[in-house]
Amino acid sequence: MKQSSVARFAVVGHPNKGKSSIVSTLSHNDEVRISSRSGTTERAETIAVSTSQGGYELIDTPGFQRPIKVLRWLTKNAPNASQRASTIARFIADPECQRQFPDEVELLTPIVNGAAILYVVDGSRPYGAEYEAEMEILRWTGQPSMALINPIESTDYVTQWENALSQYFKSVRVFNPMKAEFDKQVALLNTFAHLNPRWQRTLEATIEDMHGKRQQQKFHSVTLLARLVDDLCQHQQRQKVLTPEQASKIKPLLARQYKEWMKRREAQAVRELMAIYGHFQSEISVDQFDVPPDLFDCEQWFVWGLNRKQLVYAAAATGAVSGAALDLAVAGHSLMLGALGGGILGASGAWFGADKLADMSLQGLPVGGYEACYGPMKNRNFPYVVIGRFIHLYRQISQRNHASREDLLVSSGDFQQRVEALEDSSQKELHQACARLIKQKPVEHLEAVLAPLFD
Amino acid sequence: MTDAATFSIDDVTPKSAVRLSRPIVFAGFFIGLCLSFLLLSGDEQGRVNLLYLLFIFLVAPLAGLIISLFSLISGRGINFARLLSETPLLGVTRISVIRKLRQRHLDKHWFFLQSQYAVLAYSLASIITFGVLLLITDLNFVWRSTLLTAEHLLPALEVIALPWSFWESAQPTLALLQATQDSRLLGQYQAGSNFTLWWPFILATQLIYTLLLRGLLLLLSYFVIKRRIEADLEQQLSEQILRHHRHRPERYQLSDVERQLPADYALTNWAAFENTLLKELPIAVASDTELHAGPLASEHAQQQAENYHGMQLVLVKAWEPPMAELQDYLQHGQGLLYPVNYHNGRLQPIEDKHLEEWRRFTTDLPDWRVFQPDTHEGIA
């Protein structure tokens, strides 16, 4: 058996027990083909996970297809226990075996070449004695091994499997590739490190890199949100027209184009967010996760963004800040009436203007004619709505496993509590930034303002 | 140039980020044209002040360059283009690419690039004006100063002319300086031809200090912006999204499901179900012929079963995918496959996905069909 400093794991087992799902989740790669049809994986495929300091390889293998016959061949050709590993090597090199047992040759080859064994079973279905042949074959290889119980539908038979597997494998773990969060994946990698002492240092470095990458992904998500909310708050749909009458005629068209643009822009940000986390196979439609589906449903904004009370508080806070600046400018001669007045004005504006959306304006052009302009959005809650929706998605996508190919379904979440939980200074910065955004003013260091919401 | 009306969802691209802004370039060209014409026209005798020319062709562009470079590195990027963009008439601030660049902290680089375009346009306009006026009128270059003498000026002009030291006729000389010093009071000229000799020096100043220098800076800023946009997060993500194609949903042919058992068949308990479970099956297990095949059967029993050529009803675990060893066995006979589902010892209806898998499996086996009883009496 060959020895390598790169940790290599052959994921083996019965067909359709989630081998490819485990490879996909542990490699953070959703390009790995996962199918409900058995026998999808016909060739062993190596998925390399490389990080700056380390990395490892996962080998997705075809399932056992003729384990009984293979074990018979091995038993016939191995005179004693000391020659079992070499018999396996002979088995994979034998042209007749390659023809008769292509799947077993394919799955055993990486093991013979030094890969550790990750044997996968389904913990939601009862144990069967027919599995013993394949476990016996794996034992013959003499390679370090671990059994993973994948509770595909339930955990009903996990104990039964544990009892059986512990007789063949030193280490048995329950791992659901569809639901395992990042921490559980890391914990499993830590266990892998104990399979072969030569791999321990590399795997530890890899885990450290993975934590670093996780931080970087969060930082990139914040950047995406900062750009998204800036774009959506600034966007205007323009059209040159000859007369004001013509402008009023095209208003519905402009409004539709405006809304479509906004929705497309949001969908693009979600696709990019998924790409940050390496998800390329899930279908994303903003309409699918937007319940109710319309971004412009003002009533829902109090669910996705701030509620009316929070909104009034935010407006009062930012109004008071502007008023305080006035007080400062007149060196306190206003007896702090600026701050008070600004606060009251802001709060009442937020209360009464809570249903205000974008509207159309008309501007004369120097060369003649007019420019009809739909937008930008005037509603104070709008930036919060955009932020709230994005953060809710972020939380799901960042925890989503690469084996999961189901479409995203999202409902409103805990954004309001998140805002409440922010420190006072962070909360104030957020409100000030949103107030500037809705006035189409650039916000310096918007990423830094939004970052605490991602913690 | 893209404005908000035509701005697509696609992000700013390396190409769009370095595209010139026509209003800014036009403004540069216009200023260059007016200023050059104004100064080069001179007075009624065609006298043009050399020091004024040096101011607009050398000092002003160089000072602008120093300020914009310093501001680019340390400040918010104040330069010619930024100042022009504040003019609402030009509509520059409406260009959505600026917003995109601001989001990427590249807006000051963009204004710096546009400044280079503008100064190049300014320089081009000046050179054209200069060339045209040289052709169609007599330009007499003089210099005047209350404090400076020809000896004072010469070293400065020699430093300025260093880059084109190979160009003999464009070099300043003491004799030329002395010969072209003008006094509006005295107004005595010995040799008129001397006054035209400054034109190569002026042209070289324009070519080197404005055209060439700004051209180099334009290229530099052009590539910096392009490279940074190419390396930008969203650009990288878009490329990744384009590279990854979604897998197409799988479609398979499925065989029909048989609901009736034949009158005579042999029962093959491939899954080795226990007798208690067999009794629960909603079929009449009246078959006298029972075959032993499957992973747990002996080699001899398996051989016997393979030699049987009559109809068989093969019991398999519904949730276990069909394996090649079953397929090998089925090649020898004919009949029905009965996938049985149970949980905690109780029969359960087969799940659709499992039934589909068995139906797909039997499409490759012409002598076999999947069997499922019509009613599952007693099945929860």
Is the predicted pLDDT of residue A119 greater than 50, yes or no?
yes
The H-assigned helical ranges of chain B are 14-17, 22-40, 50-54, 60-74, 80-85, 96-103, 107-136, 150-160, 174-180, 199-205, 213-230, 233-243, 275-280, 299-306, 324-330, 352-362
Q: Minimal Cα distance from A240: which residue of B?
A: B5
Chain B residues whose CB is inside 8 A of the A225 CB are none
Do residues B280 and B328 touch, judged by C-beta distance below 8 A? no
pLDDT tens digits along A131-183 = 999 999 999 999 999 999 999 888 999 999 999 999 999 899 999 888 777 88
The distance of Cα A214 from the centroid of its chain, to the nearest Å, equals 11
Distance CA B44, CA B42 (A): 7
Chain B residues whose CB is inside 8 A of the A133 CB are 295
Q: Which of the four pLDDT bands, split at 50, 70 and 90, describes residue A410?
A: low
pLDDT tens digits along B256-286 = 998 888 888 889 999 988 888 888 888 776 5
For B46-75, b where at least 16 C-beta lie within 10 A, e where not — what string?
A: bbbbbebbbebbbeebeebbeebeebbeee
Mutate which of B234, B300, B306, B341 to disrupt the A interface (most A C-beta within 10 Å)?
A: B234
Nearest to A37 among B250, B299, B328 (CB): B250
Q: Minimal Cα distance from A227: which residue of B?
A: B103
What lies within 8 Å, CB to CB, of A115 at 6+ separation is A8, A9, A10, A57, A59, A143
Decide which of B258 and B11 is more confident: B258
Is the predicted pLDDT of residue B160 greater than 70, yes or no?
yes
Amino acid in position A186: V
> Inter-chain contact B233–A220, Cβ cutoff 8 Å?
yes
pLDDT at residue A364 in the model: 80
For A339-362, b where at least 16 C-beta lie within 10 A, e where not — what string?
A: bbbbbebbbebbeeebeeebebee
> Inter-chain contact B246–A281, Cβ cutoff 8 Å?
yes
Is the predicted pLDDT of residue A218 greater than 80, yes or no?
yes
- Ranges of beta strands (E only) in A153-280 are 171-174, 237-241
Average pLDDT (B177-193) is 73
pLDDT tens digits along A57-111 = 999 999 999 999 999 999 999 888 889 999 999 999 999 999 999 999 999 999 9
Decide which of A34 and A158 is more confident: A158
User: Sign of the CA dihedral B123, B124, B125, B128?
Assistant: positive
Omega of the bond leading into B14 within 30 degrees of 0 (cis): no
Mind telling me how many Å the CA of A194 is from chain B's nearest CA? 32
Give the least confident one: A41-45, A451-455, B104-108, B370-374. A41-45
Chain B residues whose CB is inside 8 A of the A224 CB are 233-234
Average pLDDT (A340-348) is 58
Do residues B205 and B57 touch, judged by C-beta distance below 8 A? yes
Is the predicted pLDDT of residue B8 greater than 60, yes or no?
no
Give the least confident one: A145-154, A347-356, B29-38, B343-352. A347-356
How far from B210 is each of B50, B136, B216, CA to CA, in Å?
A: 17, 24, 10
Chain B residues whose CB is inside 8 A of the A281 CB are 244, 246-247
pLDDT at residue A141 in the model: 94
Average pLDDT (A198-219) is 91
Chain A residues whose CB is inside 8 A of the B271 CB are 128
Neighbours of A43 (CB within 10 A): 11
Query: Pseudo-torsion of CA A90, A92, A98, A102, nearest 10°?
Result: 150
Is the predicted pLDDT of residue B342 greater than 60, yes or no?
yes
Q: Minimal Cα distance from A235: which residue of B?
A: B4
Mutate which of B87, B104, B320, B355 to disrupt the A interface (most A C-beta within 10 Å)?
A: B320
pLDDT at residue B1 in the model: 36
Chain A residues whose CB is inside 8 A of the B357 CB are 16, 36-38
Mutate which of B11, B12, B103 to disrupt the A interface (most A C-beta within 10 Å)?
A: B103
> Inter-chain contact A224–B272, Cβ cutoff 8 Å?
no
pLDDT at residue B4 in the model: 38
Distance CA B119, CA B32 (A): 8
Token pair belonging to B196: 């035209």
pLDDT tens digits along A265-296 = 988 898 899 999 888 876 655 444 443 345 66
pLDDT at residue B360 in the model: 92
Q: Minimal Cα distance from B328: which residue of A?
A: A66
pLDDT at residue A178 in the model: 80
Average pLDDT (B346-356) is 89
Q: Which of the four pLDDT bands, split at 50, 70 and 90, describes residue A40?
A: low
Do residues A230 and A446 touch, judged by C-beta distance below 8 A? yes
What lies within 8 Å, CB to CB, of A148 at 6+ separation is A22, A118, A119, A120, A121, A172, A173, A174, A175
Average pLDDT (A233-252) is 90
Average pLDDT (B6-26) is 70
Give the least confident one: A140-144, A246-250, B86-90, B181-185. B86-90
pLDDT at residue A292 in the model: 36
For A316-333, b where at least 16 C-beta lie within 10 A, e where not — what string?
A: bbbbbbbbbeebeeeeee
